[in-house]
Amino acid sequence: MKNTPNGYTFIEVVVAVALMAVLAVLAVPNLTTQSSHLHLMDAGRQVLSDLRLIRQRAIMDQMPHQAAFQAGTPTYILSTLGARSLPPQVRFGAAPHVPSISGGPIPADGLDFSGDQNTAIFQATGRFSGLGATIYLTDDPVGNETIALTVIRTGRVRIRRFWQGEWTD
C-alpha cells in the first residue's frame, strides 16, 4: 500500500504565497486608478443631479432658481438648498491638453459660462438664462480623464467624459 502525504510541503506554501504577493502588487495601481475614476464620476453625477434639481425647482416654484459656482474653490451654492462641495480629490478645471467641447479655450477655473458670472440661472419655464454653460471637472493633473457638464438654452443638462483622447457620452 502506498503512503500519501496529508499536507503541503514548505516549498509549495512559499510558492503559493509568492504568487499571491505578485498578484497583489499588480492589482494595487489598478485599484487606485479605479478609485480616482469613481470619485470623478460620482462628483459629475452629483453636479448633474443638482443642476437638474434647481431647474425642476424653478418650474415647480414658478420663479427663477440658480446655482452659483465659486471660481477657485470646490464649492457651488444652490438657491434655497445651500452650499455643496466637490470631493477633496476633484476640482473644477481640465488639463491643458483637453480640448473644450465648444471649440474655444477652457477657462483656467473650468467654468465656461456666457457672461461674466459663473451662475446657472433657470427661469420658471425651465429654460436657461444665457447662451449656455460648460462646467469641467477633473481629478487628474495629467488630464487622462475630465468630465464636462453642458447646459443649453432649453435647460437641458448633459454630461460627457474625456477619456483616451476623445469626448464620449
Q: What is the pLDDT of residues 31-77, one digit of tens each?
A: 555 677 788 889 999 999 999 999 999 999 999 999 999 888 889 99
142 or 11: which carries more pLDDT confidence? Answer: 11
Looking at the structure of the chain, the number of domains it has is: 1
Q: What is the pLDDT of residues 121-130, one digit of tens each?
A: 999 999 998 8
* 76, part of any domain: yes
Q: What is the pLDDT of residues 89-129, one digit of tens each?
A: 888 988 778 888 887 888 888 899 877 688 999 999 999 98
Residue 141 has pLDDT above 70, yes or no: no
**Domain membership of residue 29 as a residue range:** 10-168
* 2, part of any domain: no
* 118, part of any domain: yes
List of residues 6+ apart from 58 with CB closer than 8 A: 64, 65, 122, 123, 124, 126
Indicate which CATH number applies to the domain containing 62: 3.55.40.10
* 3, part of any domain: no
